[in-house]
Structure 1
Amino acid sequence: MKTLLDPARWPRRLSRFVPPPPTVGHLERWRAVGFALLAILICGLATHLLLGPALLPWLVASMGAASVIIFAMPSSPVGQPWALIGGQVLSALIGVASLRWLGPWLPLEFVAALAVALSIAAMLYARCLHPPGGATALTAVLGGDAVTHLGFGFVWMPVLVNALILLAVALIANNSVRGRRYPLARVQDNPHGTRDPLPTARVGLREDDLTAAMRELGEMVDVSAEELGNIVARAERHANARQWHDIDCGQLMSRDLVTVPTGAPASEGWALLRRHRIGALPVIEPGTGRVAGILALVDFLKHVEADTAMALPQHRDPALTVDALMSRNTVTVRQTTAVSELVPLMADRGLHRLPVVDADGRLVGMVTQSDLIAALSHQGAMTAAS
């Protein structure tokens, strides 16, 4: 009979204390290390130069904790700009006020405990919960003569100034990562400028469903509903890729393409669009075959002047080339790109067609919304048949 003291059961029990492997790569880890080093170094130098070395140890204790969150956990709600600035400033104010107004009457230990407790309450109600704020409140109470001498000046320097330094470095560090937005956007912008949710947000789990579930927990969750929705959407794409039998762009794309070279007259591009009854065509660099941009019907219409002639741009300027009209920020995909990855690009970002390129950036095909609809229809039929 097995008991709690059975040695055979201890390896399994001990394994519960071992955390799962991290989901971030080595590059992301060392990026966080490097920017935290830079931010704290600037904070330390600013404090030393403006206030002298007496406050340096106390400051680094609070701002060092903040740097762990904003650089290693940039998607956490407690690491967003309002949480960082509001949490630090409120906690500093409460700490200084507690020491000044209650310090002469109560034991210092009680004042410190009360300052931390009131800081938590203030941050919760002000929606700026920031764990290092508790350390800031303690610093204001227990910092000694150097902090006491500053009084409420401690709130703006070193606390506010150094929090702003951390924020400036965080904005540069986190927004330098492709696909990451800091601070987190509350609502993803609709490319058509309307208030409708993005198409992929109208089906399946919605943000209000996630918010309701988080409220049911009745406790603070260290992830926002927006970011949790992003994680769920990514997980759904991985599941769809598995269910779609590895269909990729190479199987869907059109290969016999109509293109126009860079430097070609705009009138030539217009004629090709009309002749082949298509909405857009790739603009290709002669010799290399790389995609330089996309020339669409809407690019011509953007340049129609509201005059009596309503002339198209190539009629007003026969020397105009496609280079002046085409869209240069072209999103491309590879032949191995899974169909599931096309859904957010075409549904949410409103891209009607995507050039398919090889490893050298040369055009090899084109995938359109019609191709995606055909793939979805095929998958739906196969799912129904099974």
Structure 2
Amino acid sequence: MHGSDLSRWRLIFTPAMPRPVWKDLVRATLGGFAGIAVCAVFAWGANLSDVFPVFLIAPLGASAFLVFAVPNSPLAQPWSAVAGNTLAAVCGVAAAKFLDPAFAPAVGVAMAFAAMMFGRALHPPGGAVALLIALDPGLLERTGAVEICLNAGIMTAVLVGAGLAYHKLSGRKYPLRAGLAQGTAVGFSRLGLSKEELTDLLARFNQSANLGAVDLGRLLAAAEDEAIHHRFGDRTCGDVMTEITTAFGAGDPFHEIVRVFQQTDELAVPVLKEDGSIAGMVWQREVFNQLARTKSTRLILPAASAGKLMRPPDALFNADAPVGDAVVHMLRHGVQQVLIERNGVLKGRLTRSDILELALLSGGARKAA
């Protein structure tokens, strides 16, 4: 066997996943214990009351792994888990009840696959649920068809409920759709892609069952952030910033503010404290909006000073911070500029024009090289 063949087989039979993070390992392990323990206590309590007997089934262990170890997977979401196991139980019962025992297991599992896919409730443990029921026709006689199906749904729902509580306490997002709004703000708008477009992209590469559109958006946005940092290298905000030549004091009157904006093309002017630190920003549009609402600047109250008109700055970065950090912030929050300070004293501003100029210069340097 050639060396290349050995290398290929070595790659096939080596772990495909990275080493686990200890925090995730401990969280998943404790979660699996808690989930099955809650189900066991629930079954014990339900059997004591003799209202509706429920019992643990082996596939709950696989469901627990998905819910507690990989809660972001589409296969682990509440609908997938509860509906998937319930549909699979119905298919297993139907196969065991109406088919020859020799064919029931294979047909039951196949039916479960089709039912879960049709119901958009893919949940791998569902295959085990159908197989478990089809392998033991006597289970129908001992328990009852309806009871078996209800047991699968109820116990899975209890497990999912335990997962919801556990992940809320441990700080992990579950279910996936609970983080949809945040994912949209951070990922989708950043990328210029809608949730539907990301979903289509997953379907094109047959990854819909492994990853949700929200997580894909987050991953792509994170990759974009890394690319931005690589793009600008070790340049700092102080290297790229434009020095500020115009600033207000908190007591500057309104007519002085109007004069400054009329004579410059500034969109916003900082308001500085006596020690040179930033107090806030006065925006051109707000000043002109006030002018538009009055017939004369004389109607503006004397109290309308820079200190009264200012708003907090959108962002303040240290001059030694990587310029990539500022670019990511500007893209993520849709701001036109950020302010740069050093040792608490305002030094300059970083605008989108500065970033564009840096990008063009960097591109030209790479081309010349």
**TM-score, structure 1 as length reference:** 0.64
What is the aligned partner in structure 2 of residue 194 from structure 1? Answer: none
- Per the TM alignment, residue 368 of structure 1 is displaced from its structure 2 partner at its CA by 1.8
Distance in 1, matches of 2:129 and 2:365, equals: 60
Further displaced range: 272-281 or 58-67: 272-281
AA matched with 2:65:
A
Residues 1:134 and 1:21: Cα distance change in structure 2 (over 3 Å)? closer
Picking from 99, 102, 105, the partner of 1:106 is 99
Give the direction of change, closer, same or farther, for the CA distance of 1:245–1:43 in structure 2 (3 Å limit): same
Gaps of 5+ in 2: none
> Do 1:299 and 1:325's aligned partners in 2 also have CA atoms closer than 8 Å?
no
Find out whether 1:354 has 2:354 as its counterpart: no
User: Is 1:385 matched up with 2:368?
Assistant: yes
Matches within 5 A, 1:112-261: 112-138=105-131, 144=139, 145=142, 150-154=147-151, 156-167=153-164, 169-170=166-167, 173-175=171-173, 183-184=179-180, 188-189=184-185, 198=189, 200-201=191-192, 211=200, 215=204, 222-224=210-212, 227-228=215-216, 230-232=218-220, 234-235=222-223, 237-239=225-227, 241-254=229-242, 256=244
Give 1 or 2 for the bigger CA radius of gyration.
Answer: 2
Q: Secondary structure at the match of 1:159?
A: helix
CA distance 1:77–1:98, change in 2 (3 Å): closer
Q: Please tell me the residue identity of whatever aligns with 2:18.
A: P
Aligned in 2, Cα 1:33/1:110: closer, same or farther, shift over 3 Å?
same
**What does 1:317-356 correspond to in 2, within 5 Å?**
318=303, 326-327=311-312, 330-356=314-340
Task: Quote how far apart the aligned CAs of 1:77 are.
Answer: 3.4
Cα 1:111–1:321 change in 2 (3 A) is farther
Are 2:225 and 2:328, in contact at CA under 8 Å, matched by a contact in 1? Answer: no
| Alpha carbons 2:228, 2:327 under 8 Å: kept | no
Q: CA deviation at 1:248?
A: 2.8
Q: Which amino acid counterpart does residue 354 of structure 1 have in structure 2? A: V
Task: Identify, as 1 or 2, the structure richer in helix.
Answer: 2
**For 2:296 and 2:110, how far apart are their aligned partners in 1?**
70
**SS state at 1:18 partner:** coil
Residue type at the aligned position of 2:64: G
Query: Residues 87 and 280 (structure 1 numbering): CA distance in 2 closer, same or farther, change over 3 Å?
Result: same
Q: Secondary structure at the match of 2:339?
A: strand
Secondary structure of the corresponding residue to residue 335 of structure 2: coil
Q: Aligned partners of 2:97, 2:144: CA distance in 1, in Å?
A: 16
Is the Cα–Cα contact under 8 Å of residues 175 and 182 in structure 1 kept in the other structure?
yes
Contact 1:255/1:366 (8 A) holds in 2: yes
Which residue of the other structure, out of 15, 18, 25, is the alignment partner of 1:22? 18
Counting aligned pairs with the same residue, the percent is 20
Query: For 1:103, what is the secondary structure of its paired residue?
Result: helix
Q: How far apart are 1:43 and its partner, in Å?
A: 4.8
Deviations 1:239-261 (A, max 9, x none): 45445443232311245476779
User: One-letter code of the match for 1:158?
Assistant: M
Q: Which residue, 349, 356, 371 being the options, matches 2:354?
A: 371
In 1, Cα distance between the equivalents of 2:24 and 2:254? Answer: 47
Whole-angstrom CA distance in 1 between matches of 2:67 and 2:185: 29
2:87 to 77, 84, 93: 93
Relative to 1, partners in 2 of residues 1:174 and 1:187: Cα closer, same or farther, differing over 3 Å?
closer
Between the aligned partners of 1:380 and 1:265, the Cα distance in structure 2 is 45
C-alpha RMSD over aligned residues: 5.3
**CA distance in 1 between partners of 2:43 and 2:276 (Å):** 55
Q: TM-score, normalised by structure 2?
A: 0.66
Report the AA paired with residue 257 of structure 2: A
User: Residues of 1 paired with 2:341 and 2:224: CA distance?
Assistant: 26
Alignment: residue pair count: 355
Equivalent in the alignment of 1:278? 266
Closer, same or farther in 2 for the Cα pair 1:239/1:317, shift >3 Å? Answer: same
Residue by residue, what CA displacement relative to the aligned partner does 1:249-301 show, whole Å, maximum 9, x if unpaired? 2311245476779xx57967993973865333567788895x77665456678
Structure 1 distance, partners of 2:368, 2:114, is 57
> How far apart, CA to CA, are the structure 2 residues paired with 1:21 and 1:367?
41
CA contact (8 A) 1:59 1:158 kept: no
CA distance in 2, matches of 1:190, 1:60: 34
The Cα shift of 1:320 comes to 9.2
What is the rounded CA distance, in whole Å, between the counterparts of 1:285 and 1:161 in structure 2? 58
Q: 1:190 to 1:151 in 2, by over 3 A?
A: closer
- Equivalent residue number for residue 61 of structure 1: 61
Q: 1:20 to 1:61 in 2, by over 3 A?
A: closer
Q: 1:237 to 1:59 in 2, by over 3 A?
A: closer
How many Å apart are 1:369 and its aligned residue? 1.4
